[in-house]
Amino acid sequence: PEPGDLIEIDRPLYHHWALYLGDGYIINVTPVDEGAPSLSVSTTSIFTRRAKVKKQLLKEVVGNNKWRVNNKYDRSRTPLPVKEIIRRAERWIDKEVPYDVLGNNCEHFVTELRYGEPVSDQVS
């Protein structure tokens, strides 16, 4: 992956999304209500209303799951410059954000960083 790329991680019941920062690190949102890292996020995250933005190693978040670079929205949206994407992302590290599986989920978070607007096919 290249800095600014969207990373899609296959989970048992959904797809988790992160943004690649470089040097093996990603930024992603993880539910605050669970003590477990995003690796073990379960269906209880559906009921979570808050999430924490974390900078983590991609390999730790992925675990044994499959992942891919998926900048699928580049077909219909123009990504911001990479330096701007990374600058915007780093402002959020260790902050709590509202979370809603339908209206403000992990995919919404990273697409807003990349494109300047939140998008999620997962919920359409």
Q: How confident is the model at residue 124 (pLDDT cuts 50, 70, 90)?
A: low
**The predicted structure's pLDDT at residue 121:** 87
**The predicted structure's pLDDT at residue 39:** 42
**The predicted structure's pLDDT at residue 46:** 52
| DSSP type of residue 32 | S
Catalytic residue among 1, 4, 16, 73: 16
Domain ranges of the chain: 5-33+47-115
CATH of domain 5-33+47-115: 3.90.1720.10
Q: Is 16 a residue of the active site?
A: yes
More confident residue, 43 or 16: 16
Residues 6+ apart with CB under 8 A from 60: 37, 39
Q: What is the pTM of this model?
A: 0.87
Tell me the two tokens of residue 32: 């605050």
- pLDDT 10s digits, 71-119: 999 999 999 999 999 999 999 999 999 988 888 899 999 999 999 999 9
Residue pair 10/118 in contact (Cβ under 8 Å)? The answer is: no
Q: Is 106 a residue of the active site?
A: yes
Other residues' Cβ atoms within 10 Å of the Cβ of residue 58: 18
Catalytic residue among 27, 51, 106, 119: 106
- pLDDT 10s digits, 25-65: 999 998 776 544 444 444 445 556 889 999 999 999 999 99
